[in-house]
């Protein structure tokens, strides 16, 4: 019976991802995840959970580049106007939305990574520098 209650209280990966994508504490879902744009709050204001111990590192940037590259840049190359128009027109028409989309997506992906790390219970080792 103890093993069954232990699995029912185990954090769900989908719960962690959903809360992280919404910029919420993965532990309670109420407190905010960020102090600023990408600066993670040291601890949750609602439940006191330590949020600063999740090693997101370069993962969010890598996943954001992967998503943007496959969902935005690759399909864009199939349009003939990209190859036929002047670079003076193509550069701003493509780079401005690309930059805006990247800046919008990056905090959400970082929140999702932190939520996934919370669900898998992966934290920074105490003896590693922060």
- The answer to whether residue 125 sits within a structural domain is no
Q: What digits encode the pLDDT tens for the residues 79-103?
A: 999 999 999 999 999 999 999 999 9
Q: Above 70 in pLDDT, residue 2?
A: no
97: Cα within 13 Å, side-chain hemisphere: 9
Give the per-residue pLDDT at 9: 67
Q: Tell me whether residue 129 is in a domain.
A: no
Does the residue 59 lie in any domain? yes
Is residue 5 assigned to a domain?
no
| Res 41: pLDDT | 93
Query: Considering the domain boundaries, does residue 7 fall inside one?
Result: no
**For the packed helices 59-68 and 87-120, what is the interaxial angle rounded to 10 degrees?**
140
pLDDT of residue 33 exceeding 80 = yes
Q: Is residue 98 part of a domain?
A: yes
51 domain residue, yes or no: yes
**Residue 128 located in a structural domain:** no
User: 55 is in which domain, residue-wise?
Assistant: 13-120
Name 50's bridge partners: 43
- What is the average pLDDT score of the chain? 88
Q: What's the number of domains the chain is made of? A: 1
pLDDT at 65 over 50: yes
> Cβ distance 40 to 20 under 8 Å?
no
């Amino acid at each position: 019976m103890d093993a069954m209650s232990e699995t029912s209280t185990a954090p769900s990966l989908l719960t962690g991802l959903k809360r992280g994508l919404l910029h919420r504490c993965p532990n309670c879902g109420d407190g905010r995840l960020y102090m600023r744009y990408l600066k993670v709050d040291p601890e949750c204001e609602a439940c006191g959970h330590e949020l600063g111990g999740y090693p997101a590192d370069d993962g969010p940037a890598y996943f954001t580049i992967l998503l943007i590259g496959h969902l935005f840049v690759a399909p864009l190359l199939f349009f003939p106007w990209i190859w036929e128009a002047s670079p003076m027109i193509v550069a701003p028409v493509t780079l401005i939305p690309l930059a805006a989309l990247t800046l919008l997506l990056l905090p959400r992906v970082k929140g999702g990574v932190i939520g996934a790390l919370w669900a898998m219970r992966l934290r920074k080792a105490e003896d590693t520098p922060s």
